Amino acid sequence: MNIIIVKNAVEGGHEGYKLFAEAKKNGAHVFGLATGSTPITTYQEIVASDLDFSDSISINLDEYVGLAADNEQSYNYFMHKNLFNQKPFKQSYLPNGLAEDLEAEAKRYDKIIADNPIDLQILGIGRNGHIGFNEPGTPQDSKTHRVALTQSTIDANARFFEHEEDVPKEALSMGLASIMQSKHILLEAYGEDKADAIKGMIEGPNTPDLPASILQGHGNVTVILDEAAASKLTNK
Ligand SMILES: N[C@@H]1[C@@H](O)[C@H](O)[C@@H](COP(=O)(O)O)O[C@@H]1O
């Protein structure tokens, strides 16, 4: 893994933006996108830049089950607010968390990923090492699937909701195998509460117990960390 340590999320956002710009220059056409607070500084730099995605495709990692696209807490809403409204893509895909048949929706999403191989995938990481919504224990050969969120993820997400009972308990997520198919993966992490997950991801064993550790088996991963997220690494 290529590890870049920066001072803060703003600097990290700039480094992340540079990877998007370089990928575009090299002909990348399909971008895998993530939500959460982590990628926001990268999206801000992209929005402020002259990069043009009107010929590109985006495929998001995940979506909550049960939230409509116009619900302010949905990932669909997040993506429009933080990126798509300012930088429209030719086509943007997100899982439909309102689909009546979630298994069929997962299959539909896998076909979209298979038809549009992802050139650059941006990721954040959960405190328990999840990527997308692939919680600990998720099989490493998983494709898009329905997920029961762990209590720690529900608690972490509660900060975005007015009432705790409004936090969705389920999601649809791209699987670990789908993420591993991306040609280049960029994972960003900021803050001390990510330090344990980052240590496990980079220095621990490759194990389903810490989903992000699967990235050790990918040949083209860039990790952008601030000093706090990197603070538990033995070998900097
Ligand atoms: N499904 C998302 C992940 O894609 C994200 O990486 C994680 C961390 O969020 P944050 O970046 O806000 O710490 O939150 C959610 O679980």
DSSP result, 99-143: -S-HHHHHHHHHHHHHHS--SEEEE---TTS-BTTB-TT--TT--
Structural domain spans, the chain: 2-216
pTM value > 0.90: yes
Nearest CA to ligand 1 atom 8: 126
Q: Residue 4's CB: how many other CB atoms inside 10 A?
A: 17
Query: Does 135 participate in catalysis according to the annotation?
Result: yes
Give the phi and the psi of residue 34 in degrees, each rounded to 5.
-130, 160
pLDDT per position as a tens digit, 177-228: 999 999 999 999 999 999 999 999 999 999 999 999 999 999 999 999 999 9
Identify the bridge partners of residue 32 per DSSP, sorted by sequence position: 59, 121
Nearest CA to ligand 1 atom 14: 36
Query: Does 128 participate in catalysis according to the annotation?
Result: yes
Tell which residue, 89, 14, 76, has the closest CA to residue 46: 14
Query: Does 82 participate in catalysis according to the annotation?
Result: no
In the block, tokens 């490493």 appear at 140
CATH top-level class for 2-216?
Answer: alpha beta
> Among 105, 135, 188, 226, which one carries the catalytic annotation?
135
> Among 15, 45, 60, 62, which one carries the catalytic annotation?
62
Chain centroid, CA 184 distance in Å: 13
Lowest-confidence pick of 25-39, 102-116, 138-152, 154-168 = 154-168
Q: Is the CB of 172 under 6 A from ligand 1?
A: no
DSSP 87: S
Q: Which two tokens stand for residue 155?
A: 């608690």
pLDDT of 170 higher than 80: yes
Q: Is the CB of 34 under 6 A from ligand 1?
A: yes
Q: Which of 60, 121, 122, 130 to mutate to test the pocket of ligand 1 (most atoms within 8 A of CB)?
A: 130
Q: Is the CB of 35 under 6 A from ligand 1?
A: yes
pLDDT per position as a tens digit, 1-30: 999 999 999 999 999 999 999 999 999 999
- What's the ipTM? 0.96
Query: Does 105 participate in catalysis according to the annotation?
Result: no
